Amino acid sequence: FSSALARRLKPNVVSLSLHPAIANTGLTRDLQASAALKFLMENVFMRIGRAVGFTQSAEDAPKTQIHVSTHPELQKASGRYYSPLSAPLVRCGRPAEDCGVSAVSD
């Protein structure tokens, strides 16, 4: 979507998209679900996800959003998709607008 939107916008408008991240924040504590499902979500799925790098800590989860919304070099990168799973966001050995870009972006 962001790529298609970037093609349709004026050159001085930037369209970027990003993965919102998955983090164990305790948000499911009030979920109206069975105790077994809540246990699976909070203790099994989130732990496995963290072990394989699919989820982030509550402290790391917002880093992609902050990077994409504040880094001045990303004003050149319209149409890109950024993901916390495509780290690092900075000092990746490429231009700043290419750090953290997901493989599905291009």
C-alpha span between 61 and 54 (Å, rounded): 11
pLDDT of residue 104: 67
pLDDT of residue 106: 57
pTM for this predicted structure: 0.64
Closest to 61 measured CA to CA, from 94, 41, 83, 29: 83
pLDDT of residue 25: 77
C-alpha span between 81 and 47 (Å, rounded): 26
pLDDT in tens, 62-82: 888 888 888 888 877 788 888
pLDDT of residue 87: 66
Task: Give every residue of the chain whose pLDDT is below 70, as ranges.
Answer: 87-88, 104-106
